């Protein structure tokens, strides 16, 4: 059976027989679409021919390979576990309809862990933020992005989608309208970050293609910066700064929250700035803060 037709049948099964909500069905189908996109890209990269246009193109090890690809993209174990589960259920559906060339067995699924995210020291953050060459247009842009992200704790998607009208220079605020749940929140931003943000907007951005577009951060083609591109830029600057920790753009959001709490900020205020719906999500940063205090105590206090 054609894969497209099989997915349509699976969607009908999820809605009619399992009675799942539109949101849940969409999440399942999005995971399948992501699987197909990543696997097709991997096949092309390695000179293979499978395009997964037919369900008999699927192989027994595809679920494991998909999980590995997700790990290489630095996805969390919780995200990988959810996506593997979605794909496993899809394969079970195909198998029960005799649409696969193999029988689906049990799959080792990564368990959602509560591991603490990587946090940079203040000195490491400074080295990372100082890595871009601000004398170049692209370095000025990247410096503004890094400073803005560390100063506000925005999500990567929010940073890439930031529009000029969202920056309230006179009030030292950034207004986010595209956060999770569609809620609006205002996040303060300090003078230091605003200085580099304004320098980029008034300078390099005005010389860039797409300068008449509403988005703040533009690539060479004049379109908004993508998350993948910014991820690669952060990796590049981390290497230049001599940071050997495994970090991503999201690391700056973690650092923003942890450094605020380490310096006495109220948990509820930090949660509001981050756009967290539940305090429990923000509380992981209190563990990080406590750990840093313990480490400092054990390192510097003479009497153990």
- The sheet carrying 185-188 orders its strands as 167-168, 173-176, 185-188
155 is catalytic: yes
- In angstroms, rounded to a whole number, what is the distance separating the alpha carbons of residues 276 and 183? 11
State how far the Cα of 264 lies from the Cα of 110, in Å rounded to an integer.
Answer: 35
Q: Please tell me the distance from the alpha carbon of residue 287 to that of residue 67, in angstroms, as a whole number.
A: 28
- Which of the following is catalytic: 205, 250, 254, 259? 250
- Show Cβ contacts of residue 136 under 8 Å, excluding neighbours closer than 6 positions: none
Q: Of 258, 289, 251, which Cα lies nearest the Cα of 273?
A: 258
Cβ atoms within 10 Å of 188's Cβ, excluding its own? 12
- Among the listed residues 115, 165, 180, 246, the single catalytic one is 180
Phi/psi for 224 (5° steps) reads: -60, 145
Instruction: Decide if 287 is catalytic.
Output: no
Secondary structure element (H or E) that encloses residue 137, with its range: helix 137-152
* Of 143, 205, 253, 259, catalytic: 253
Q: Name residues whose C-beta falls within 8 Å of residue 297's C-beta, 6 or more positions apart in sequence.
A: none
| Given 155, 205, 254, 259, the catalytic residue | 155
Q: Would residue 250 show up in a list of annotated catalytic residues for this protein?
A: yes
Catalytic residue, candidates 141, 205, 254, 276: 276
φ, ψ for residue 167 (rounded to 5)? -95, 115
Long-range contact set of residues 259-263: C-beta below 8 Å, sequence gap at least 24 = 259/122, 259/125, 261/285, 261/286, 261/288, 261/289, 262/289, 262/292, 262/293
Cα 259 to Cα 44: distance, rounded to the nearest angstrom: 43
Q: Is 253 a catalytic residue?
A: yes
Kindly report the backbone phi and psi dihedral angles of residue 186, in degrees, each rounded to the nearest multiple of 5, phi listed first. Answer: -115, 130
Residue 18 annotated as catalytic? no
Calculate helix-pair angle for 137-152, 249-262, nearest 10 degrees: 40
Give the residue numbers marked as catalytic.
Answer: 155, 180, 250, 253, 276, 285
């Amino acid at each position: 059976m054609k894969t497209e037709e099989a997915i349509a049948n699976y969607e009908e099964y999820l809605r009619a027989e399992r009675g799942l909500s539109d949101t849940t069905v969409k999440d399942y189908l999005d995971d399948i679409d992501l699987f197909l996109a990543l696997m097709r890209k991997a096949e092309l990269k390695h000179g293979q021919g499978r395009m997964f246009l037919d369900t008999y193109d699927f192989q027994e090890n595809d679920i494991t390979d998909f999980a590995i690809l997700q790990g290489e993209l630095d996805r969390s174990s919780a995200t990988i576990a959810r996506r593997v589960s979605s794909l496993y259920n899809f394969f079970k559906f195909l198998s029960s309809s005799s649409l696969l060339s193999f029988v689906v067995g049990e799959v080792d699924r990564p368990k959602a862990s509560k591991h603490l995210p990587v946090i940079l020291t203040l000195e490491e953050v400074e080295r990372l933020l100082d890595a871009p060459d601000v004398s170049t247009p692209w370095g000025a842009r990247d410096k503004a992005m890094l400073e803005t992200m560390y100063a506000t704790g925005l999500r990567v998607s929010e940073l890439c989608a930031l529009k000029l009208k969202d920056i309230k220079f006179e009030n030292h605020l950034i207004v986010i309208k595209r956060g999770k749940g569609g809620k609006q929140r205002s996040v303060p931003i300090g003078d230091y970050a605003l200085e580099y943000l304004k320098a980029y907007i008034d300078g390099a951005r005005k010389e860039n293609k797409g300068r008449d577009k509403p988005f703040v951060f533009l690539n060479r083609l004049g379109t908004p910066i993508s998350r993948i591109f910014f991820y690669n830029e952060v990796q590049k600057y981390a290497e230049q700064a001599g940071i050997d920790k495994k970090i991503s753009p999201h690391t700056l959001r973690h650092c923003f929250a942890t450094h605020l709490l380490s310096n006495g900020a109220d948990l509820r205020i930090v949660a509001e700035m981050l756009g967290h719906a539940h305090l429990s999500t923000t509380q992981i940063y209190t563990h990080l803060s406590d750990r840093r205090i313990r480490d400092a105590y054990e390192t510097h206090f003479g009497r153990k």
